[in-house]
Amino acid sequence: MKERVLMKGNEAIAEAAVRGGCRFFAGYPITPQNEIPEYLSKRLPEVGGSFIQSESEVSAINMIYGASCAGARAMTSSSSPGISLKQEGLSYIACGQLPCVVINMVRGGPGLGTIYPGQADYFQAVKGGGHGDYKLFVYTPATVQEAVDITYKSFEMADKYRIPVLILGDGTIGQMMEPVVLPEMKDPATFPEKKWALTGCKGRERNIINTLDMNPERLEAITDRLFDVYEQIRENETEYENYMCDDAETVIVAYGIVSRVAKSAVNILREQGKKVGLFRPITVSPYPDKALSAIADLPNVKKFLVAELSKGQMVEDVRLIVNGRKPVEFYGRTGGFVINTEELISVVEGGKR
Amino acid sequence: MARVIFNTDRCKGCGLCVTACPKQIVHINGDKVNAIGYNPAEVSEMDKCIGCAMCATMCPDCVIEVRR
Amino acid sequence: MEEKVVFARPSLLTDAPFHYCPGCTHGIVHRLIAEVLGELNVSRENVIGIAPVGCAVFAYDYFDCDMTEAAHGRAPAVATGIKRVHPDKVVFSYQGDGDLACIGAAETIHAAARNENITIIFINNGIFGMTGGQMAPTTLLGQYSTTCQDGRDPVLNGYPVHVCEMLSQLKGPQYIERVSTHDAANVLKAKKAIKKAFQYQLEGKGFSMIEVLVACPTNWKMTPVKALEHIKNEVIPYFPLGVYKDRG
């Protein structure tokens, strides 16, 4: 049996990245994700990787652009205000079809906001964020173990689909300590060759990675390809957890830290004989729309309740998918508050709003 | 014997080679229009060319090859 | 005696014609980079280049090596990422004054401070060329641009930025020099500087930036020949040529 170790979310993610083959990290300090760069500043050189504390978030994401162009598995991490600054780079990375992993330990906003958790970067993560037509592949871990597993897998997904993967965590996931089983160390020498990468054009035509094309046909073809890939991901890789939805009358929809609270609420309400379930998307871009849609079709399901740490962002996707078949209610907190179990139970029972 | 060979259809007629030539044998041919629509540079008295490559050094478009 | 080719298009350049305006000396600098890498026996598979945003945005069409094109001002960060992954490759970025000294000033300063083992070729033509002649951080006082139409006024528009002087104050960088393309003698000096910069990179000595004064006849509204005279008479007195830092 593999050893379980007690680790802080941010450090566990950093170690999982190294084990998943990450050999380049650039980032800028911002709370609540500082343990990721701190850990990697020591860890990456041990495995022959490169760590840079960059002069800015903008520079960090562009260093990732460079390292990814060069063929390395590369990662950056930040928290909300810093992720806003990375949007320019993410647009270029997406257009250049450059694989990389970006961690957002979301804090409450807008503006400088707070260092306490939030989920108000959902729109930014799943609707684009930067300029132009592109999508990120977005995961939302709910436990430290899941954050580890997702981080490890994200490098594979990024390489397989040549897409930037964003891990949408929150301050709680980053800061909490939980027991985790760490995955095996991968050897980057065993990774498939990236024929498109800038590695020095020995014995081949030169490779050019750019995001500029003044030819409308070609640029439209590039954009089409980005969205074809996104649809392949929707088909093959969307993930979710269906927790007691099949006989539920009320289905709570929540991700990340709120989904843990929701699961506790479901357990308590079930003990009271109340038919409540939880739908937890693990990927939110692409959204597990088929699975949620199937739940919306269940005759026993009377309503959905979307709970988020925002003024209502994921609720828009849920409403689009449910498409009027069932009522979709919303409950959100902001300012750094995390919804607690009693509060959520009260909302489910038609109390507090 | 030195000589210069102009890839005339790449010339944009900027004239930087004209001023660079110490022998003043390069000039813009105002009667000729090249494939990209410019009056190209050319050499009239090639026998005076010393192959110094000053013209080629100043050419922004790599139009000029120098042999000697 | 058999005739020899003593000057020809260097092999590191592709056959694509430069898109630059007549008399723009960007093309000279492209050629110099290709020439010196050839002279240093750096073959195409050992070079990775980064194009900027600006007139040289299409530079990836001209160098026969792996190339990318960075977001505006971000080339030093992109170069850093590439060089850290491929320390055995020669990595250079080619950037204009808007790109390097304005929107990318932070990237430039910190790549220099880290003494990142890369070479930056910095084109100073005192104007935003590609976008149609707006004021650059290097636009001279009194100089016309489409966004300072009465000439650059320090009260309204601030003063030009002296990048070599600024970077030379840092402990980090290996080599900083300003050169010009206004005549053949200076082009040869520019070539020597660019060669030294790449030589230092090959020796693992770190960050070099060569600032090259380049003419923009189109946006300066001058003939190509007048534009070179303008560099000599107006630009160089304000941006003096020379070695600003050389750690040897």
C82/A198 Cβ within 8 A: yes
Task: Give the structural domain span for A245.
Answer: 241-348
Q: Within this chain, do residues A68 and A195 fall inside the same structural domain, yes or no?
A: yes
CA–CA separation, C62 and C76 (whole Å)? 20
Residues in C touching A211 (Cβ below 8 Å): 69
CATH number for the domain running over C26-246: 3.40.50.970
Nearest residue of chain C to residue A201 (CA atoms): C45
- Residue B27 forms contact with C (CB below 8 Å): no
Is the Cβ–Cβ distance between A263 and A339 less than 8 Å? no
Tell me: the pLDDT tens digits for A36-64?
A: 999 999 999 999 999 999 999 999 999 99
Angle, vertex CA C70, rays to CA C48 and CA C138, nearest 5 = 105
Tell me: the pLDDT tens digits for A225-277?
A: 999 999 999 999 999 999 999 999 999 999 999 999 999 999 999 999 999 99
CA–CA separation, A139 and A255 (whole Å)? 10
Per the prediction, chain C carries an average pLDDT of 98
CA–CA separation, A192 and C214 (whole Å)? 44
The ipTM, to two decimals, is: 0.97
Rounded to an integer, the average pLDDT of C178-195 is: 98
Touching A: C residues 22-51, CB under 8 Å = 44-48, 50-51
Is the Cβ–Cβ distance between A40 and A18 less than 8 Å? yes
The DSSP H or E segment spanning A102 is strand A100-106
> How distant is the alpha carbon of residue A302 from its chain centre?
29
Domain-ending residue, one of A171, A202, A237: A237
- Residue C171 forms contact with B (CB below 8 Å): no
Percent of chain C at pLDDT > 90 equals 99
Q: Within this chain, do residues A45 and A60 fall inside the same structural domain, yes or no?
A: yes
Domain count, chain A: 2
CA–CA separation, C92 and C83 (whole Å)? 9
Per-domain residue ranges of chain C? 26-246
What letter does residue A86 receive in the DSSP assignment? T
Q: What 3-state class would DSSP assign to A327?
A: coil
The fold adopted by the segment(s) B3-67 is Alpha-Beta Plaits (3.30.70)
Per-domain residue ranges of chain B? 3-67
Could you tell me if residue A353 is inside a domain? no
Domain-ending residue, one of A208, A237, A266: A237
Tell me: the pLDDT tens digits for A190-223?
A: 999 999 999 999 999 999 999 999 999 999 999 9
Tell me: the pLDDT tens digits for C132-152?
A: 999 999 999 999 999 999 999
> How would DSSP label each residue in A223-257?
HHHHHHHHHHHHHHH--EEEES-TT-SEEEE--HH
Residue with tokens 């739940």: A295
Q: Within this chain, do residues A248 and A219 fall inside the same structural domain, yes or no?
A: no
The residue among A64, A92, A220, A97 whose CA lies nearest residue C72 is A92
Is the Cβ–Cβ distance between A224 and A59 less than 8 Å? no
Identity of residue A343: E
Nearest to C68 among A55, A69, A72 (CB): A69
Residue C2 pLDDT: 86
Angle, vertex CA A98, rays to CA C87 and CA C37, nearest 5 = 35
Could you tell me if residue A224 is inside a domain? yes
